[in-house]
Structure 1
Amino acid sequence: MHELGIMYHIVKQVLRVVEDNQLEEVEAIVLQVGELSSVIPRYLKACYPAAVDGTILESTKLEIEELPANGICQACGKVYALTEHGGKCPVCQATEHEVLSGREFFLKEIRAC
């Protein structure tokens, strides 16, 4: 489970921002995770308490926004949800596509009180 290492890295980044901006309290950390990224949101949530234990972030909430995997069909140009349609274009049934979104992993927001 590489999510624990990822959470420790995110927490380290957030703590640096907290220190640099002299924040006294953080309400929430917001992450964006694409459906096709190698990161599993429920594992991030499970690891979060251990990653923030003993830090100023201990009482913060972790919010995760899941970003859909969208692709464009190489045959007909239709943009569609890849996972919803199993990678097959709902218009022409072609399987050749270009991924437009869904691989992202971002620290979107540090919400201070």
Structure 2
Amino acid sequence: MHELSVTENILAICEKHANENGASKVTDIYLTIGQLSSIVDDSVQFYWDIISQNTLCQGARLHFQRLPAKLRCKQCGHEFILKGELTLCPQCESMRIDILSGEEFFVESILIEKEEAL
């Protein structure tokens, strides 16, 4: 259910930037989401279709880009890309792991339309 509040935040960010840039409409929104994020794309899309009604963002297409999780072993320093669930270090099998990336979630960019001046 936290996708609703996340989606509301996406809408607020996009409307703010669209208004600041004189947009008449937002057409596309590019989201970057880390592999370890608990965000579910379909849920965000579902809420988006509802809450964006009657806003500058109504009808805007959401584009989801997933970033892989990159981890580093604290024991041996080995860096690796996570292939599935959290796991031991494939080099030394230590459980002492740092997450370097994969928890991101942000609006990468938005595309807008502006009405032409007469």
TM-score of the two chains, using structure 2 as the length reference: 0.84
* Distance in 2 separating the partners of 1:79 and 1:41: 27
Is there any run of 5+ residues in structure 1 with no aligned partner, and where?
none
1:93 matched to 2:93: yes
Residue aligning to 2:51: 51
Shift, 1:91, TM fit: 1.9
Highest Rg: 1 or 2?
2
In the alignment, residue 43 of structure 2 is paired with which amino acid?
Y
Answer whether contact 2:34 2:103 (CA < 8 A) is retained. yes
SS in 1 for 2:30: strand
Deviates more, 1:21-30 or 1:38-47: 38-47
Answer whether contact 2:29 2:63 (CA < 8 A) is retained. yes
Shift, 1:73, TM fit: 1.0
* Distance in 2 separating the partners of 1:102 and 1:80: 12
* Distance in 1 separating the partners of 2:75 and 2:84: 19
* Distance in 2 separating the partners of 1:96 and 1:41: 30
* Distance in 2 separating the partners of 1:26 and 1:82: 35
Alignment of 1:1-113 (within 5 A): 1-82=1-82, 84=84, 86-113=86-113
Q: RMSD of the TM alignment (CA)?
A: 1.7
Deviations 1:49-103 (A, max 9, x none): 0121111211210011111111101122111123536321122222211110111
Is there any run of 5+ residues in structure 2 with no aligned partner, and where?
114-118
In the alignment of these two chains, the number of paired residues is 113
